[in-house]
Structure 1
Amino acid sequence: MEINNNYLMDGATNKGTKVVEKGKGLDKNSFFKILSAQLMNQDPENPADSTQFVAQLAQFTTLEEMENLNKTSEFKNAYGLVGKTVAFDSYNYKGEQYGGVVKNIEQTPGGPLIVTDIFENGKLEEKKFKLSDVSNVYNQPDPYLSSINSNVDFHSMVSLIGKTIKGSNNDGVFEGTVKSTYKTNEGVKAIIDATGRVISSKMEKKESYNESDIFLNGVYNDEKPVKVFVKYDQTSTSDNKYSYKIVADDENADEKQWTEYVPDTEVLGMKILLPKEEPELPCNWEVSVNGFEPKEMHFYSRNILEAGE
């Protein structure tokens, strides 16, 4: 008597013995449950051929070993990406591809997850991706070349001394001037006199059905946290129908006056990026901006996003 899936109905044998959750496949434990049920209900005058059971058990064992081997191989492949820069077949709302340095691998029942810090919403955020999401691996560290690469990295960082850079950490992205560099066991670091917080935020729409999005970009260097408000009024007689106001935490937003916004101009070091097409209806946006106090900060070379003059 051969064991097969036809013997199951809604996850149970035709005698009602529960074998597996409905909708799930058979595993070795399910096999033993079916075997037990069949032995209990077999015809004593016509017992089942035990050689069939032995053969099928051997097949299950082989398949289980292959599955475990595949899982182990998949985890090793994922773990081999730690410390490497990878790109993922996944994109943010701007259509920009996700990518970054792999910091850890998390094992889950569904397979390994790749843990990476992604620059999003103006700061580094931890995101997890499946191994199948990896589209490219950009660096393949060679142990023989590691010391050479470290020296090249150090000299590259030295060349940045006196220049303005943008660097990222878990608190966001910051701008400052490089004043020195040094080596650690984990890589080369730059010491900068940070002068401002880099802002790159999508503003939140309020009280509107418009689909138009606007963004706030720039460098904010005031210690006070503020909230930036923008409104569009198609009935305005002004050439520019957008206006703004910036409100500190200790100020009343209703008492602040609106100021006409001239496109491509800076407000406290930040620009309001307007949509190409004007909205059809009135619209309001707002976004909160954290304050920043100038201070010394340290960044790994891999976390330096941009270098200027």
Structure 2
Amino acid sequence: MQIDGISSQDPISLSGGKESALGKDAFMSLLVMQMKNQDPMEPTKNDQMLAQLAQFQSLEEMDELNNNIVGLAVLQQSNAVLEQLTSSSALIGQDVRYTNEAGDELWGKVEAVRIEEGVAQLQIGGKSVPLGSVLEIGVPPTAETQA
């Protein structure tokens, strides 16, 4: 019985990374290679091949499920941004009490709304105020109402 030499070049790269993930074609190539090179006196049993195919099918389905979940997360994030924009746009023209970066409570009229890095920002007196800094919506107190 003759034994062939071992090649230093592997037909399939096993290095890490998404690019080297074992795809369907590579899996089928490995399966065909396994069938070609099996011991004729003790061939691979059908149930073993079916188990391997079932495992591969499960991996494909989990990968598809993962992609769907990622897509759902992106959709949910964009819906949250849209909801912030919609709810904060109702504040345009309204007087609001808010805290500034120094922690002072101020009153101002909302002039515009925009989204920055996924967070609704209100334009008040030429300054950008996060929606989460709003404490109250209403009429600012005057000297007469405070007395």
Mark yes or no: TM-score above 0.5: yes
* 2-structure distance, mates of 1:37, 1:73: 39
* 2-structure distance, mates of 1:78, 1:63: 22
State the match for 2:79 in structure 1: 69
* 2-structure distance, mates of 1:91, 1:62: 34
* 2-structure distance, mates of 1:135, 1:82: 15
State the match for 2:92 in structure 1: 82
State the match for 1:109 in structure 2: 117
Give the 5 Å matches for 1:180-259. Answer: none
- CA displacement, residues 44-94 of structure 1 (integer Å, 9 cap, x when unaligned): 3467431111211221222221111111101111111111111113365xx
CA RMSD of aligned residues (A): 3.0
Q: TM-score, normalised by structure 2?
A: 0.56
- CA displacement, residues 145-191 of structure 1 (integer Å, 9 cap, x when unaligned): xxxxxxxxxxxxxxxxxxxxxxxxxxxxxxxxxxxxxxxxxxxxxxx
Change (3 A) 1:138 1:37: farther
Given that residues 97 and 137 in structure 2 are in contact (C-alpha distance below 8 angstroms), is that contact kept between their aligned partners in structure 1? yes
1:38 lines up with 2:21 in the alignment: yes
* 1-structure distance, mates of 2:133, 2:104: 15
Given that residues 87 and 97 in structure 1 are in contact (C-alpha distance below 8 angstroms), is that contact kept between their aligned partners in structure 2? yes
What SS does the corresponding residue of 2:100 show, helix, strand or coil? strand
* 1-structure distance, mates of 2:101, 2:120: 20
The answer to which structure has the higher strand fraction is: 1
Deviation at 1:133, TM superposition (A): 1.0
The answer to which structure has the higher helix fraction is: 2
* 2-structure distance, mates of 1:81, 1:53: 43
Deviation at 1:100, TM superposition (A): 0.3
Change (3 A) 1:66 1:91: closer
Runs ≥4 residues deviating over 2 A = 42-49, 89-92
Q: In structure 2, what residue type is equivalent to 1:89?
A: T
What SS does the corresponding residue of 2:127 show, helix, strand or coil? strand
From the CA coordinates, give the structure whose radius of gyration is larger: 2
Give the 5 Å matches for 1:151-170. Answer: none
Percent identity, aligned pairs only? 11
* 2-structure distance, mates of 1:58, 1:129: 35
Question: What is the number of residues matched between the two proteins?
Answer: 101
* 2-structure distance, mates of 1:91, 1:98: 11
Q: TM-score, normalised by structure 1?
A: 0.29
1:53 lines up with 2:63 in the alignment: yes
Q: In structure 2, what residue type is equivalent to 1:135?
A: L
Given that residues 104 and 115 in structure 1 are in contact (C-alpha distance below 8 angstroms), is that contact kept between their aligned partners in structure 2? yes
Q: Structure 2 stretches of 5 or more lacking a match?
A: 1-14, 32-51
Deviation at 1:101, TM superposition (A): 0.3
Given that residues 91 and 97 in structure 1 are in contact (C-alpha distance below 8 angstroms), is that contact kept between their aligned partners in structure 2? no
